Amino acid sequence: MEVVPRTRVDVFEDIFLVFLGLGTLVGIVVIAYTLYNAYKYRDTEDRSDDEDLPSVGELPTGGKGGKKLFLSFGLSAIIVISLVIWTYGMLLYVEDPGMENPGEDAMEIDVEGWAFEWDFYYENGVETSSLDDGLVLPADKPIWIEVTSTDVWHTFGISDLRVKADAIPGEYDQTWFVADEPGEHTVECFELCGPGHSGMTSDVTVYEQDRFDEWMDEQLTMTITLEDEDEERVTDGFELSLEHQNNDEFEDDLSFTFEDDEFENGSITIEDIEQGGPYDVEITFEGDEFDDIEDTIDFTGPVDETYTLETPGGDDENGGEDGESGDEGDENGEENQTDDENTDEETTDDGGDGE
């Protein structure tokens, strides 16, 4: 089983427990010694007059030359100095990002706060928000988060998991934590940020690793369906191509091609894409029955897209009809102009007859 590094919470808990233990021990010793001396030097009637008792205003004698006093102060100094050095070293572990890095196995999630919601961006391109699934995590796995804000100051915090990070516009606060067991938690904003501050929450769902993998596979599922203008499925004579817009930035090739025989009744469900993000979609046809399609899909969650195919030349036919109508209009205009000229000539003739 992989050993998970200590989080900030673990470090502060260790410091707290050490100080609590030593404080309790010192308190017991001091109180016990006080009670012992109170009992030993209590005022009783049977004590003798020459008994060596401390008196008010007199310097006490004995103590073996101050050895007890020196021993008590020496032990106290050693304990205090040791605690200071140890605590300082522990705090250096907390403040140094290099020492607190949970390792390559950690899951990285970017958190973005805005009035009054939370958005979560996973490293594989999947995106969720407080408006839908919220923050979904695997149990017993380091979670590295980078928190920022798009408007005003917020503070991201999950009380049950003892994690908190400031969300400041233009800045990024980094921390990490581990959710030990599956369960339900709540993200809250711990910085007064406006009238919706109290409602700036999000669900946090922690799954076992297997169940989390299933959930992530569901997010990276793309279904594409092809239909004609009569809503009938198109089943053959085409090819579907997908390519991530930032394909050059990844080690693996994120371009995919699917033939028509991989579709079932004009529909295909793609489940083997492991990286989300913007994908360019191109559907090409062998014949001239339909126009080719070019589109972009924002693949940040489950996609169910239906494309209605158009017949080529449909716009040209309409244009031709419009052209014919225009010609007819011109002809009608010429006829009207001729009629007007004839009317003017008749009027002139009438005028001549009158003369």
Paired residues of 256 in beta bridges: 242
Q: Which residue has the higher pLDDT, 152 or 66?
A: 152
Q: Each residue of 237-276: pLDDT tens digit? A: 999 999 999 999 999 999 999 999 999 999 999 999 999 9
Q: Convert the pLDDT of each residue in 123-144 to its tens digit.
A: 999 999 999 999 999 999 999 9
Contact 287, 234 (CB under 8 A): no
Q: Region 178-196: what's the mean pLDDT?
A: 94
Q: Render pLDDT for 221-238 as a digit per residue (tens, 0 to 9).
A: 999 999 999 999 999 999
CA distance 18 to 268: 60
Which residues fall within 8 angstroms of residue 217, CB to CB, at 6 or more apart?
271
In the block, which residue shows the tokens 């003798």?
Answer: 48
Nearest C-alpha neighbor of 126 from the set 99, 107, 150, 148 = 107
